[in-house]
Structure 1
């Protein structure tokens, strides 16, 4: 796992996720499997690295219940983050990007329902996900 200064300009998209959420860690594994370019990097919201990025981008650090994508110094959250991430996946998953034409209030409403119930439906771990050795270089601490 890597340590990087939070004021650094990142060349690859960074995904911040809830490291103890089973749905979130399964989603990260999915992204790792279908991101053929291997340009996506990850950090759990519980990590010091993520906390520094949240400060840098003026995002609240408490009670975050969303995936966050930081790409080209732009911050994406909720359903837009998921759709933007789909651009980095192989076919057929890439076609989900076209769902961006669904009104955001609708897609975020669906996202919020899932997010609110993620622990109840999918469970929660006692500690953050530990990546496989072959993926460690794509994670920040």
Structure 2
């Protein structure tokens, strides 16, 4: 986990923000899945946006060929499997039980995460343009 000060990026002070690959169909399906189950707890942005790119630079992460999505929670930055499990614990239904996987060492969880991330375009495809939120979703995107 990394922490960023509120003054270093305008998103740092947001309560919960998921920054994802807007071209990845897998990632977009994940965002749709979350929105249906999060009771409005999360906001969303793409890694391709100007602010997303600035955040990646600030964190020293690749600005292309993304290796992860980001979860920002009040200035704390989570990546890979840790981010996914922190999100799962805030979803409705039985999904919070997935958070128990945090008991598995992060290095092992991230091996699985990295495998899926490397093959996500092959598994689900890649869009030519970033996701455009529907009218109902627009207030959830920054």
Q: TM-score range by the shorter chain?
A: 0.7 to 0.9
Against the structure 1 CA distance between its residues 125 and 105, is the aligned structure 2 distance closer, same or farther, given a 3 Å change threshold?
same
Other structure's SS at 2:93 match: coil
Structure 2 partner of 1:17: 20
Other structure's SS at 2:44 match: strand
Q: Paired residue for 2:38, among 20, 35, 38?
A: 35
Write the mapping of 1:1-141 to structure 2, written as runs, cut at 5 A.
6-7=9-10, 9-36=12-39, 38-140=40-142
Against the structure 1 CA distance between its residues 110 and 120, is the aligned structure 2 distance closer, same or farther, given a 3 Å change threshold?
same
Other structure's SS at 2:136 match: helix
Deviation at 1:8, TM superposition (A): 5.7
Deviation at 1:9, TM superposition (A): 4.7
Quick one: distance in 2 between partners of 1:100 and 1:130?
A: 32
Q: Which has the higher contact order (CA 8 A, sep 6+)?
A: 1
Structure 2, unaligned runs of 5 or more: 1-7
Deviation at 1:82, TM superposition (A): 0.2
Structure 1, unaligned runs of 5 or more: none
